[in-house]
Amino acid sequence: MVELVIFVLLGTGAIAGALSVIFAKNPVYAAMGLLGTLFSLGVFYVVNLGHLIAAVQVIVYAGAVLTLFLFVIMMIGVDRVEDTSETIRYQRQLVIGLAAILGVTIAALVIGGEFAWVPLAVDGPIPNGTVENIAGIMFTDWLLPFEVTALLLTIGAAGAIALAYYAPGTSVEDAE
Amino acid sequence: MIEVTAGWYLSLAAVLFSIGLLGILVRRNALIMFMCVELMLNAVNLTFVAAGRALGNLEGQVAVFFVLVVAAAEVVVGLAIIVAIFRRRESASVDELATLRG
Amino acid sequence: MTDFVWLVIAFPLAGAVLLHFLGRRLGEPLAGIIGTLAAAAAFVVAFVAALPFIVEEGNHGETVMLWEWMPAIGANLEITWDPLAAVMALIVTGVGSLIHLFSVGYMHGDERFARFFTYLNLFLASMLTLVLGGNFAMVFLGWELVGLCSYLLISFWYTKPSAAAAGKKAFVVNRIGDFGFMVGLMLVFTNFGTLAFDGIFERVPEILDGSTATAIGLLFLVGAAGKSAQIPLYVWLPDAMEGPTPVSALIHAATMVTAGVYLVARSATIFAAGDAGIVVAVVGALTALWAASIAIAQSDIKRVLAYSTVSQLGYMFIAVGLGGYIAGIFHLMTHAFFKALLFLGSGSVIHGMHEEQDMNKMGGLLEKMPVTGVTMGIATLAIAGIPPLAGFWSKDEILGVAFEYGGVGIVLWVIGLVTALITAFYMTRQWFMVFTGEPRWEEGVDPHESPRSMTVPLIVLAVLSVGAGFLNTPFRLTLEHFLEPSFELVKVAHPPEGLGMFALLAAISVGAGIAGAAMAGFVYSRPREIWERFQGGFGGLWEAWQAAYRVDDLYGATIVTPGRKLSERMAFDFDAGGIDGFVNGVGRAVRSAGARTRVLQTGLVRNYGVGFVAGLLAVVIWLVIAGGGV
C-alpha cells in the first residue's frame, strides 16, 4: 500500500520533471525538472532495495552532475530565453509522428502485459543492496570493469581539461 | 489490493526513456539535449534496479553503479565540448553546427 | 680441362664495362686499343681452349657450370664447350678482333669513338654468350643482347633520321622472329621440362614425336629467319647498312646474322626428328635467289653486299636444312672471312672517298687504293666460287649436299647454281664499277689509301679468304673431323662420294661462276654507255631489281599502314571512347548518385536523430511482433 502511494506520487513527479526538461524555455527550469526526476528515481531505488546506489544517485547526480550543468548554464547565460520554434523543415511533424508510434507501442506493450512477465517475489532472501553486499560483488566478480572505469574517469578528466583550457592572453583561434 | 510489480517500474522507465528520446529530437540547445541523455540513462537505471530486485540478485545494481560512473565521465567531457564550442560560436545551438552538410 | 673458357666471354664484357665508364677519359685511340685487346684476348683464350679438340680425336667437349641460376628449369650460367661452339667462338673473336683493329682507323675523329668500342665489345660478349651458352635460356639471352647491340650500332649515328629509322626497323622485324623463337622454346620446355642442352638433345628420339619436332623446328625457323635475314624477314638487313661499315662487317655479315644458322645446327637433332629441315632449305634457296637478283641492280656499294649477305645466308640455310650441318658451318666460316673482307674493303673505299657510297660516282680507284682493290678482288673471286679460293670449297660442298639429297634437292641445286652465277655477276660488276674505268668522282674528292690499321686486317682476311677453304676439301676433311663429335646424334648429309662426281659438280658450278664473272667483266669494264644499254635490255626487270621488288612498299601497305590504322583506332576510338568511356561512366554514375543523395546529409544532428529513432523503433516493433515477446 505504501509502495503504491509512493509509486503514484513520485512516478507522477518523475514524469512531470521529465516533461519540464523538454518543454522549459529556460535551461535553469529544465535543470530543476531533471533534479526532481532524479530524486524520484533515487527514492525508487530505495524502494527496490538499492540503498547504496540511491545514495550515490543523490550525491553524484543531484550533487555533482547537476551542479556542473548549472555552472555551464550560468556561464553560457542564464538570462537568454530560448526560441523554441522549430527551424528544421518537417522535423516537428516527423517527431510527432514518431512520438505517436512510440506511444502506441509502449501502450500496446503495457496493456498486453509484456512488462509483467517477471514475478516480483523470488524464492529465498531478497538481496539487499547494502554497501557491504555491493562491495562483495564489485571487488570480486566485477573487479576488472571497476578498474577500467576508474581509468576511463581519469582519461575523461584529462580530456575535459584539454578541451576547455586555453592559456590566458591567447585568443580562441590560437588555442585551436 | 493492487501490488506494485516490476512491470510498473518498467513501464515508468519506458515512458521516461521516450520523453528523453523525443526531447533530443525537438530541442536544439545542446545543454537540454544533454539533460535528455541523462534522463534516458536514468530510465535505464531504473529498469536495472527493478529487474534486479525481481530476479533476486545484485548484478543489476552493480550495472547501475557502472552506468553512473560512465555518465559522470560523459557529462564532464560533453560539457567541456559545449564550453569549447560556445567560446567559439557564442551559441549552444546544435543546428548551427552543420558544416558537414553534404 | 677447359674450366677457364668463361674468360672468352669475360674479356669483351670487361672491356665493355671499362670503356663504358672510362672510355671518354681514355680517349682516342687508347679506347680503341683496349677494345681490340679485349677481343684479341678472347680469341687467344678460345684458341687455347680449342686445342684439345684438335689434339684428341672424338673429344666431345664438356659443359662448364659457372653459376646455378634457375636449376629447376635448366637455366643456369653454363657453357657448352664443344667443337661447334669452339668454331663459332673462334670465328666471332677472330674476325671480331680484326674488325676492332680496322675500326680504330675507320672511326678516327668520331666524337663517340669510345662509345663505339663499348658497343662492339658488348656485342662480342653477347654473341659469345649466344654460341657458348649451354642451354636455351642463355642462347636466348645472347640472342636478345646481340639484337640490342645491333640496334645500338645501326643507329649509332642517331642524329641521322635514316639511321634511327633503320635501327628501329631492325629491332621491330627481329622481334617478330624472336616471338617465334620464344614460342618454340616454350614448346621445348613443355616437352622436355628443361632448357639445358644436356637434357634435350639426347632425349629427342624418345620424347618428341614427328609433328612436335616439326612444330618446334618451324618456330625456330621463324626466329632464325628474323636474325639471319631470310624471307620474309630479311628487309631489315639492307637498311642496317646505315650503321658504320665495321658494324656491317662484324654484325650484319660475319657473325650475328649467322646466329640462325648456328641455332639450326645446334638443334640438329630436333630438326632431324621432324620435317622442318626441308622447309628451312626451301626458304634458304628462295632467299638466296631472291636477294641475289636484287643485288644485281644496286648502286650503293654497301647495299650490294647486304643483299649478297642475305643470299649467302640462304646458302647456309640450304645446307643445314638438308642436314649438311658441317657444310653449313664451313660456309659460315669462309663467308665470315670474305664477306668481312668485302665490307671492310668497301669501308676503306667509303673512307677514302669521303663518305661516298654510290658506285656510279667511283671508278678507277685501283691506282689510288691498291691494297683495298687487290684484297677486294680476292674476296670477289672467293665469293664467286673460283677455285681454289675459300668460297669455292664451301659453296661446292653445299651444292653437293643438295644434289645428293635428290628430289627437291635437285631443284635446290639448280637454284643454287643460278644464284652462284648471279653472285659472280654482281660481285664482279661491283669490283669493276669501283676500281676500273674512268674516274667519276665528284669534285673535290681526293681518294687515298687507308692507314695501316685498316689495311692490315684487309690483308689478313684476304689470306684467310684464300686459304680457309683448304680446311675442308674433299681430299682432306679436317673441319669435318673436328666438328663430328658435335653432330654424333644425327646423320650428317654429305656431298656425293667419289672424285669423279666431285669434279663433275665442281666443273658445272665453276662454269656458272666464271660465266657470271665474265659477263659482268665484259660489260662493266667498258664505258658507261655500254652498261646502260645492257641494263636497258632487261627492261622493267632491272627497275624491279633496283627497287628491291618494292617489298618494303608491300609490307608498308599490307602490314605497317593497317597496323598503324588499327593502333590509331584502338588508341583514339576504342581506348578513349570505349575503355575511358566506361571508366568515366562509372565515375559519372557515382557522382550523379551522390548529387541526388547529398540532400540527405543535412549536417543537422537532430535530422539524423529522427532517422536513428525511426530505425530503432522499427527494430523494436519487429522484435515485438516477430520475436514472440521481448
CA C511 to chain CA centroid, nearest Å: 31
Lowest mean per-residue pLDDT among A124-128, C293-297, C573-577, C579-583: A124-128
CATH code of the domain made up of B6-97: 1.10.287.3510
* Phi-psi group of C208: left, alpha or beta (phi > 0 → left; psi -120 to 50 → alpha; rest → beta): beta
Residue showing cell 650428317: C492
Omega of the bond prior to C388 within 30 degrees of 0, cis? yes
> What residues of B are in contact with residue A127 (Cβ under 8 Å)?
56-58
Tens digit of pLDDT for each residue in C360-393? Answer: 888 888 888 999 999 999 999 999 988 889 999 9
Mutation choice for A interface testing from C610, C617, C619, C625 by most A CBs within 10 A = C610
Nearest to C257 by CA among C215, C225, C228: C228
- Asked if the model's pLDDT at residue C284 lies above 90, the reply is yes
Nearest to A65 by CA among A35, A28, A44: A35
Q: What is the ipTM of this complex?
A: 0.89
Contact C294, C331 (CB under 8 A): no
Measured CA to CA, the distance from residue C478 to residue C467 in angstroms comes to: 13
Is C620 an interface residue toward A (CB < 8 Å)?
yes
**What confidence score (pLDDT) does residue A176 get?**
47
**Do residue C606 and residue B25 have CB atoms under 8 angstroms apart?**
yes
Tens digit of pLDDT for each residue in C116-157? Answer: 999 999 999 999 999 999 999 999 999 999 999 999 999 999
Nearest CB to A114 within list C604, C621, C630: C630
Lowest mean per-residue pLDDT among C379-393, C419-433, C466-480: C466-480
> What residues of A are in contact with residue B29 (Cβ under 8 Å)?
27, 82
For residue C515, what is its C-alpha cell? 660465266
Nearest to C240 by CA among C153, C176, C116, C128: C153
Return the residue of C nearest to A115 by Cα.
Answer: C630
Nearest CB to A76 within list B74, B81, B92: B92
> What residues of C are in contact with residue A88 (Cβ under 8 Å)?
602, 604, 606-607
- CB-count exposure of residue C449 (10 Å: 0-12, 13-18, 19+): middle
**What confidence score (pLDDT) does residue C141 get?**
93
Q: Which residues, given as ranges, of chain A have pLDDT below 50? A: 175-176
C569 versus A115: the higher-pLDDT residue is C569
Measured CA to CA, the distance from residue C127 to residue C351 in angstroms comes to: 27
Tens digit of pLDDT for each residue in A71-96? Answer: 888 888 766 666 767 777 788 888 89
Half-sphere exposure of C356 (CA within 13 A, CB side): 21
CB atoms within 10 A of CB C481: 16
Measured CA to CA, the distance from residue C89 to residue C125 in angstroms comes to: 10
> What residues of B are in contact with residue A61 (Cβ under 8 Å)?
38, 42, 68
Closest-CA distance, C607 to chain B, in angstroms, reads: 8
Radius of gyration of chain B (CA): 17
**What confidence score (pLDDT) does residue A125 get?**
67
Tens digit of pLDDT for each residue in C202-222? Answer: 888 888 888 999 999 999 999
Contact C335, C262 (CB under 8 A): no
Which residues, 6+ apart, have CB-to-CB distance to A49 below 8 Å? A126, A127, A128, A129, B53
Measured CA to CA, the distance from residue B66 to residue B72 in angstroms comes to: 10
Q: How many residues comprise chain C?
A: 630
Q: How many residues comprise chain B?
A: 102
Measured CA to CA, the distance from residue C624 to residue C84 in angstroms comes to: 92
Return the residue of B nearest to A66 by Cα.
Answer: B35
Domain boundaries, chain B: 6-97
- CB-count exposure of residue A132 (10 Å: 0-12, 13-18, 19+): exposed
Half-sphere exposure of C538 (CA within 13 A, CB side): 13
Which residues, 6+ apart, have CB-to-CB distance to C362 below 8 Å? C301, C349, C353, C356, C433, C434, C435, C439, C440, C441
Return the residue of B nearest to C610 by Cα.
Answer: B25
Closest-CA distance, B101 to chain C, in angstroms, reads: 4
Contact C371, C455 (CB under 8 A): yes
Size of interface B-C (CB pairs under 8 A): 33
- Asked if the model's pLDDT at residue C628 lies above 60, the reply is no
- Asked if the model's pLDDT at residue C227 lies above 70, the reply is yes
**What confidence score (pLDDT) does residue C447 get?**
86
Topology classification of domain A2-78+88-119? Four Helix Bundle (Hemerythrin (Met), subunit A) (1.20.120)
**Across-strand partners of C123?**
none
Radius of gyration of chain C (CA): 30
End-to-end CA distance of chain A: 59
CB atoms within 10 A of CB B7: 19
**Do residue C617 and residue A101 have CB atoms under 8 angstroms apart?**
yes
Crossing angle for the helix pair C259-266 and C136-154, to the nearest 10 degrees: 170
CA dist A72 → A31, A77, A154, B76, B89 (Å): 11, 8, 21, 11, 15
| Strand spans (E) along C439-510 | 472-473, 476-477
CA C42 to chain CA centroid, nearest Å: 21
C79's enclosing H/E stretch is strand C75-81
**What confidence score (pLDDT) does residue B90 get?**
78
Measured CA to CA, the distance from residue A108 to residue C187 in angstroms comes to: 79
Q: How many residues comprise chain A?
A: 176
C80's enclosing H/E stretch is strand C75-81
CA dist A50 → A43, A54, A113, B88, C189 (Å): 9, 6, 25, 43, 84
Q: Which residues, given as ranges, of chain B have pLDDT below 70? A: 1
Per the prediction, chain C carries an average pLDDT of 90
Nearest CB to B95 within list C599, C600, C604: C604
Mean pLDDT value across residues C575-592: 91
Nearest to C83 by CA among C454, C459, C471, C496: C471
With a pLDDT cut of 90, the percent of chain C lying above it is 57
Measured CA to CA, the distance from residue C460 to residue C470 in angstroms comes to: 16
**What confidence score (pLDDT) does residue C630 get?**
45
Please list the helix, strand and coil fractions of chain B in percent, rounded to the nearest 5, in that order. Answer: 80, 0, 20
Domain boundaries, chain A: 2-78+88-119, 142-176
pLDDT bin (cut points 50, 70, 90) of residue C539 is confident
Measured CA to CA, the distance from residue C75 to residue C135 in angstroms comes to: 6
**What confidence score (pLDDT) does residue B28 get?**
85
Contact C352, C365 (CB under 8 A): yes
Measured CA to CA, the distance from residue B63 to residue B69 in angstroms comes to: 10
Closest-CA distance, B67 to chain A, in angstroms, reads: 10
